[in-house]
Chains A and B, each alone.
Chain A
Amino acid sequence: MLRISHLVKRYGNNPPVLKDLELEVPGESVTSIIGASGAGKSTLLRCINRLVEPTSGSIELNGVEITTLKREELRRTRRRIGMIFQGFNLVDRLSVMENVQCGRLGYIPYWRAALRRYPQEDIDRAFHLMERVGIAQYANKRADELSGGERQRVGVVRALMQDPEILLADEPTASLDPVTSRQIMELLQKLAAELHLPVLINIHNVGEAREFTERIVGMRFGKLIFDGKPEDLDEAAMDAVYSGTSEHDASRRSSPHDHEAVTS
């Protein structure tokens, strides 16, 4: 359970990027965050694991107040927060297995990390997860030899190796083609159910948000202005979130109504 209250993020003396934001994410759920560029979606996500330092406010994950943690405690808490990124953020020159084991770096001693002598249970777990997402055959391949969709799967496995309490996804499909994009969204949706995880996804493709997530939260200029089920996201709500931005037109074009004839 993630509870965010009165979250404010301001850079220097500029107007705040996040303004007094409130959000509650219950246990097992898939929530998507939509909004135009600059609305603060990425900042919000990064405040949760403090890759970006909140200016003020409270973020509570399963009873632990994140904003006040000191370095060691912060690291321990970050272990429980998995994150996947738009750019996959893998270490290109390392193998898939090593990339995946990065998820355990917070748990294993330094010498194991340095010598690549991972605990057997971590190796078993890695293979199990890689098979689940379909990349086990690439275990020894260099990460940069994989396609975009495969790389994102590596990112997903890395995050899951942390045994997290919550999964954050920052525009995980923005760099992928439409087919692969859907595959990844589907994967996230299924994993959330299988592993009983709360998942928070930044997404700009509203069609996918509607199709794969059960709750949509709309951000506009640092505030949440929509919070509801996909069915409730009508034109008026879309306008409120996107109006005046070019994102609006792009989102409308990819709405599921266009796909009905094809997928039914």
Chain B
Amino acid sequence: MSAAVDAPRRWRKTPFIANPWLRWTLLIGALVYAIWAFTTLPFDWQRVAQGVERASRIFSGAFPPSFARHELLIDGFLESLKIAILATLLGVGLSVPIAFMAARNIAIKPIYALGRAIIIIARSFHPVIVAILFVKAVGFGPVAGILTLTIYSIGFVAKMLAERIEEIDWGQVEALRSSGASYIAVLQFAVLPQIMPRQIGLAMYQLDSNLRASAVVGIVGAGGIGATLMNAFGRYDYDFALAITLVIIGAILISEAVSGRIRRTIW
């Protein structure tokens, strides 16, 4: 049986979106959106042109970084550290019950909805917004920072923990239940051991995250090194600002390395 073909066989790669109408609509839609987005955004090009000159001024003012006011720096940094520690403790602690509430296999429907809602709201607002609100409520200083980062922690840790709880091996729970163990005992011996490694890992990761975030919430007055940085910027102390930024970067790198190392050994 001859396999010879008279007309040449064409071949074209099947496109990512098979339906040509859909494909072209999306493409044109994306193009239209791009043009519209660009044109409606207010760009002040004159100001931009001046930007290069300003940039050079800032950078020359920033070098070399000045550590002259290092007590301020250290104080600010230590305050950020304390905020991070306390917020992680509080946040992770609160995340456990909230995670159980938000796990479909543990909680009943209304509680599940409540748990999920708490997590969604905690996650949707950038910590800076939350910080501003808390600063208005309880005043400047680390309290606002701790409250803010607690919510920030809950948003992440409770979500991850809830997912982990939903993925546990149900067989272990059944085994314990069938042996007549109480509800608490089942939680303690069948559920907790399965989520504990993930929980510790999350706590370490969140400590690291909170340390980073505390530098930022300080910008709006919630304490820590962010406040120090904001002051420096405001006073055009660019060399001090650079010193602060370098310290922040260094702290983040060290904290990331340490937490990564610890997490690897307990995994």
A-to-B contact residues, CB < 8 Å: 95, 97-98, 116, 118, 120, 123-124, 126-128, 131-132, 139-140
A128 / chain B contacts, CB cutoff of 8 Å? 3
- Given A128-B3, A131-B3: A140 in contact with B9 (beta carbons within 8 A): no
State whether B11 touches A139 (Cβ < 8 A). Answer: yes
State whether A116 touches B12 (Cβ < 8 A). Answer: yes
| B3, B5, B9: most-surrounded residue (chain A CB, <10 A) | B9
The yes or no answer to B13 lying at the interface (CB within 8 A) is yes
A118 / chain B contacts, CB cutoff of 8 Å? 11
In the bound complex, how far is the Cα of B11 from the Cα of A126, in angstroms? 10
In the bound complex, how far is the Cα of B14 from the Cα of A98, in angstroms? 11
B-to-A contact residues, CB < 8 Å: 3, 5, 8-14
Contact partner of B8 (CB less than 8 A), chosen from A116, A124, A132, A140, is: A124
- Given A128-B3, A131-B3: A120 in contact with B13 (beta carbons within 8 A): no
The chain B residue with its CB closest to the CB of A124 is B8
Contact partner of A98 (CB less than 8 A), chosen from B3, B10, B13, is: B13
State whether A95 touches B10 (Cβ < 8 A). Answer: no
Say whether chain B's binding surface is mostly helix, strand, loop, or mixed: loop
State whether B10 touches A123 (Cβ < 8 A). Answer: yes
In the bound complex, how far is the Cα of B11 from the Cα of A132, in angstroms? 18
In the bound complex, how far is the Cα of B13 from the Cα of A139, in angstroms? 10
State whether A124 touches B9 (Cβ < 8 A). Answer: yes
B12 / chain A contacts, CB cutoff of 8 Å? 116
In the bound complex, how far is the Cα of B3 from the Cα of A123, in angstroms? 15
Task: State the Cβ distance, A124 to closest chain B Cβ, in Å.
Answer: 6
A126 / chain B contacts, CB cutoff of 8 Å? 11
The chain B residue with its CB closest to the CB of A136 is B3
The chain A residue with its CB closest to the CB of B9 is A127
Known: A98-B13, A116-B13. 18 other contacts (CB 8 A): A95-B13, A95-B14, A97-B11, A97-B13, A116-B12, A120-B8, A120-B10, A123-B8, A123-B10, A123-B11, A124-B9, A126-B11, A127-B5, A127-B9, A127-B11, A128-B3, A131-B3, A139-B11
In the bound complex, how far is the Cα of B12 from the Cα of A34, in angstroms? 42
A127 / chain B contacts, CB cutoff of 8 Å? 5, 9, 11
The chain B residue with its CB closest to the CB of A122 is B11
A131 / chain B contacts, CB cutoff of 8 Å? 3
A98 / chain B contacts, CB cutoff of 8 Å? 13
Give 3 nearest A-B pairs by CB, closest first: A116-B13, A131-B3, A123-B11
Can you list 7 A-B contacts (CB < 8 A)? A98-B13, A120-B10, A124-B8, A124-B9, A127-B9, A132-B3, A140-B14
In the bound complex, how far is the Cα of B13 from the Cα of A123, in angstroms? 12
